[in-house]
Structure 1
Amino acid sequence: MSDIPIARRDVILHRLDRGLPVVAADLALEFGVSEAAIRRDLRALAAEGRCRRVYGGALPTSPASAPMVVRVDEARERKQALARVGASLVQPGQLVFLDSGSTNLAVVPCLPAGSGITVATNSIAIAAEVARREDLQLLMVGGFVDRHVGGSVDAAAIAMVSSLNVDHCFMGACAVSSVTGVSAFSMADALFKKALALAGHHTVILATSEKLETRAPYRICAVGEIDHLVVEHDAPDEPVRLLAQCETTVLRAAAPP
């Protein structure tokens, strides 16, 4: 990245670190260089993992861009703190959907014992965890498995989800923004989550701080369509304030032990 002028690099990175997308044409005008030069800059930054390249510019990175098998082992205690809050919203006898995601996986051991809860999921890892608990009923949503997502998000999965009346839907989110809403890195995943939101009476997102005020290419819904957004105990105040203004209930998790 040494071929990128330092001042230009710092401006681009500062905007990305604030969760703002950047547009190559706008940057070219601002710095008086060609769009080709800006595209080279963005490719170099993307190669370092500092942004995600999209047509016409770049987006801030989100931790959810990594495959599910990688994310499962990351920040376990932080995810467990979020999961405890989410599980406290569930009532005995309800049908709960746990969308594929490493934080939703942490919800399974937090669900109350002997409460007659049925867990539906499209996730291989979550289904395996639920199957270990004899007090939980398991409903597996099937179809071809997207290895990156860690579960089924194809037309068959959408058709099955559309036939359900879910009490609490724990939706996985790649990015959550007060401006661009809830979004995903995969179009198929985003379409599945749209169907899931329609099937859920009450929708919950458990979001680690790295996902707040970031963007992913495919929009799922507005933040205001989420009933509860659970954030970490030390989530930055400004993103939380902006998200709370979107007519969703924001809950803070307790600090991990």
Structure 2
Amino acid sequence: MLTLQRKQHLLEILERDGQIVAKTLSEQLGLSEDTIRRDLRQLAKEGLLQRVHGGALPASPALAAFAERQQISPDAKPAIGRAAAAMIQPGQVVFIDGGTTAVQLVRQLPQALQATVVTHSPSIAIELVTYPHIEVIMIGGRLFKHSIVGVGAAAIEAIGRIRADLYFMGVCSLHPEAGISTGDFEEACIKRALSDAATKTIVLASPEKLDTASPFQIAPLNQVSEIVVNAGVADTLIAPYRKMGIAITLA
């Protein structure tokens, strides 16, 4: 089998099975594990999959630029945002992440809501300008342009001085084995700090993020209290999280 044919075959297996196990595949194809791993490395460089220990998982479309991500799951994100917005109670202090799904969350908040929103996202802060009873606290730092959020040591220090009731986390990828992950090391550190500083972490997961992986792990799944997903998602995709004791809200 030629290299190009092998790579195409690997991608077909990944699409069919949702994962590649290098050892199993090497036995099936009669090839060395080194050959399979080399092909996986090359496919990962092309952004066609995400390498993990022992094989590969689908890469997340959420690694694309912000403008492109706005076009992904246009119906699911408002529904997820609506369900998440309903969880916020008057008087609470809430961390809201950056990202396209989080923008939908703040757009669904009632105008009369009295709460404090802490965010490292200028986009989220601007969306909240017209809410007269929501106090907005902005976390500064270096602007990570991919997600339009503040990152860095100053942001982490500021987060560490706040205790929030809820943290609505946006993610690039969610997988029952690979956990919660994103495409940037510093952004992963910020998300981890926000989760550590909140009583409850709620993950906003539009359909394209499920069963995918990104390079940098944010936190173990046992740190997640709840996942909000679109009602049309297959039960097989969310069943593993229910088994872990994570609450699932179908939007």
TM-score, normalised on structure 2? 0.87
How far, CA to CA, are the matches of 1:82 and 1:195 in structure 2? Answer: 23
How far, CA to CA, are the matches of 1:206 and 1:158 in structure 2? Answer: 21
Answer with 191-200 or 35-44: which moved more. 35-44
Structure 1 position 239, deviation (Å): 1.4
Q: Residue in 1 aligned with 2:233?
A: 235
| Number of aligned residues | 251
Q: Residue in 1 aligned with 2:13?
A: 14
In the alignment, does 2:199 pair up with 1:201? yes
| Aligned pairs (5 A) from 1:66-145 | 66-145=64-143
Question: SS at the partner of 1:134?
Answer: coil
Structure 1 residues 147-176: Cα deviation after superposition (integer angstroms, max 9, x where no partner): 112211211111111111111110111111
How far, CA to CA, are the matches of 1:68 and 1:94 in structure 2? Answer: 29
Q: CA, structure 1 residues 98+17, in 2 after alignment: closer, same or farther (shift >3 Å)?
A: farther
Kept in 2: contact 1:176–1:183 (CA 8 A): yes
Kept in 1: contact 2:169–2:202 (CA 8 A): yes
How far, CA to CA, are the matches of 2:50 and 2:178 in structure 1? Answer: 16
Structure 1 position 35, deviation (Å): 6.2
Structure 1 position 52, deviation (Å): 3.6
Q: Which amino acid aligns with 1:81?
A: A
Question: SS at the partner of 2:146?
Answer: coil
Q: CA, structure 1 residues 146+115, in 2 after alignment: closer, same or farther (shift >3 Å)?
A: same
Structure 1 position 73, deviation (Å): 3.7
Q: Residue in 1 aligned with 2:215?
A: 217
Aligned sequence identity (%):
34
Question: SS at the partner of 1:114?
Answer: coil
Q: Which amino acid aligns with 2:240?
A: L
Q: Residue in 1 aligned with 2:4?
A: 4
How far, CA to CA, are the matches of 1:43 and 1:182 in structure 2? Answer: 21
Kept in 1: contact 2:111–2:132 (CA 8 A): no
Kept in 1: contact 2:19–2:57 (CA 8 A): yes
Runs (5+) with no aligned partner, structure 2? none
Question: SS at the partner of 1:76?
Answer: coil
TM-score, normalised on structure 1? 0.85
Runs (5+) with no aligned partner, structure 1? none
Q: Which amino acid aligns with 2:5?
A: P
Q: Which amino acid aligns with 1:92?
A: P
